[in-house]
Amino acid sequence: MREQIALITGGAKGIGRACAEAFLESGARVSLISRSSSELESTAKELLKVYPGKVFSHSGDISNQETVSSWFDQTRKALGEPTLLINNAGIFINKSVQEQSLEEWEKVVRINLTGSFLCAQEFFKLAKDSSVPRAIVNISSLAGIRGTEKFPGLSSYVASKFGVVGLTEALAVEGKALGILVNCIAPGAVDTEMLRQAIPGMKAKATPKDIAKIVLFLCDENKSAVVTGSTIEIFSNL
């Protein structure tokens, strides 16, 4: 992973932060984005202490096209040409179908699905001028997989995460000609702040580090170069 530069959305905490740590340990450089600048700055500061010069952070919302474009530009200037994209940032709003407003529905879909598309679109542009191998890993959820038991109140989350699986397959097809592998991970419960807020009291066997290991596997061309368009479902609580 020495020459790799990984863009990680939602890199300030949870699964995104664990991915950042795993990439840094493997010798890569990382660029992180999240909306809360204080949380992001404190994570970046901690990581920079151990990996000086290898971390860039930019606070902003991935559902905003200009923000995404500026994050990519600034990453290129600070670290070099990105080779990996981890579409990890996500939110949920727990409201029944009857109670959920159109604005709430659109906010979840816009961040979880459209945000992933905007980052992927910017990433695809990089591949036009250079044939370096690249990879995208999208983070969906078991909530985005057909036939798994769904929790009530999460219609916008569930729909957006189904969308992420579909987006993965669509991007993988177009990515082939550009040397971009696109895969997806659909975790069940993972021990993070999001889980504690979404389903209080639920015990998770999987840790953010466990998910980060799978992300790394999908980004390592020596291990997974023939894998694209796949979604790995993580049934760790069964």
The correct pick among 195, 212, 214, 216 for binding ligand NAP (CB under 6 A) is 195
The reply to whether 163 sits near ligand NAP by the rule CB under 6 A is: no
For helices 14-25 and 208-219, give the axis angle rounded to 10 degrees: 50
Collapsing DSSP to helix, strand or coil, 59 comes out as strand
Binding positions for ligand NAP, 113-132, rule CB under 6 A? 115
Nearest to ligand NAP of 109, 194 (CB atom) = 194
Q: Which of the residues are catalytic?
A: 157
HEC profile of 117-159: HHHHHHHHHHCCCCCCCEEEEEECCHHHCCCCCCCCCCHHHHH
Binding positions for ligand NAP, 52-111, rule CB under 6 A? 61-63, 88-91, 111
Q: Given the rule CB under 6 A, which of 70-78, 148-156, 171-179, 186-194 is the region that contacts ligand NAP?
A: 186-194
The reply to whether 19 sits near ligand NAP by the rule CB under 6 A is: no
DSSP string, 161-207: HHHHHHHHHHHHHHHGGGTEEEEEEEES-BSSHHHHHHSTT---SB-
Quote the least distance from Cβ 65 to ligand NAP, whole Å: 12
The correct pick among 4, 75, 141, 228 for binding ligand NAP (CB under 6 A) is 141
Quote the least distance from Cβ 134 to ligand NAP, whole Å: 21
The reply to whether 175 sits near ligand NAP by the rule CB under 6 A is: no
Which one-letter DSSP state was computed for residue 113?
Answer: I
The correct pick among 39, 210, 220, 221 for binding ligand NAP (CB under 6 A) is 39
